[in-house]
Amino acid sequence: MTDQRISIFIISDSAGETASKLAQASMAQYEDAQIKIQIVKRAFIYHEDELIQALEEAKAVNAIVLHTLVSKDLVNIANNYGKEHNLFTIDVLSGLVDELSNRTGLEPSRLPGAMHFLSKNYFERISAMEFAVKYDDGKNPKGFLEADILLLGVSRTSKTPLSLFLANKNLKVANLPLIPEAHIPPQLWEVDPKKIVGLTNNPKVLNRIRRERMKSYGLNPDTAYSDIDKIKRELEFANDLYKKLGCVVINVAQLSIEETASIILSELNIEDTSYFG
């Protein structure tokens, strides 16, 4: 069937980000289908009456309910309500939390929003994001030597978004735009090649991205910036530099920011510890 309308209710005792990501990942499988999916979020639910109200709203539209509740009482209420009213309900957290408890012999804290507490991990993340901003776009080459990761690439290879995404994983990231006519900072040659990632792209894809960039500014898309021959020269210059450095090279043409970041962590043997306190 097509042209269906489906509601997904996110019910959480925190911001509801965990369940939202699960919903978005599922929705991505139906991007080409004629399905209209509405996400309704009911966050910071701490009391039974608030939970019941949210569940009744969900029942009224025969919604799919995803809940991330840590209070056993609220979890039981949500699960029992789903069974009694034939409301499809997914308890996102309990299975894994209970299994961790079984294997460790430890009781979970059951603190709502524990993932977002202002822990040492949180402040390290903020510090990493400040680092990414400070050393973005080659502003200060001295930062190259302090960085966990140094990203290189010609214009529009996602250096800045990647820097900020990786900073959210507590990694200090600096980046340098590569321009054939520009001076290469001497600090680049002092960086361990195992910390450097060279980003590249396909000429036609880069041409399209740059043309769209110019259009977004209300400018003529056919400029030296988007010229295909110039782009090829830029990419050739960048790839020659990557060979000299002996660094990891990633073609981002068909990759999302998340996919590229995952490849970087894998290639550089960096463990994602951003979820640990």
Ranges in the chain annotated CATH 3.40.50:
3-114
The tens place of each residue's pLDDT in the chain, 277 residues long, gives 456 889 999 999 998 988 999 999 999 898 877 888 999 999 999 999 999 999 999 999 999 999 999 999 999 999 999 999 999 999 999 999 999 999 999 999 888 866 655 567 778 989 999 999 999 999 999 999 999 999 999 999 999 999 999 999 999 999 999 999 899 999 999 999 999 999 999 999 999 999 999 999 999 999 999 999 999 999 999 999 999 999 999 999 999 999 999 999 999 999 887 755 4
Show binding-site residues. 153-160
- Quickly name the fold that domain 3-114 has: Rossmann fold (3.40.50)
Annotated binding site for ADP: 153-160
Other beta carbons within 10 angstroms of residue 66's beta carbon come to 24
* pTM score above 0.85: no
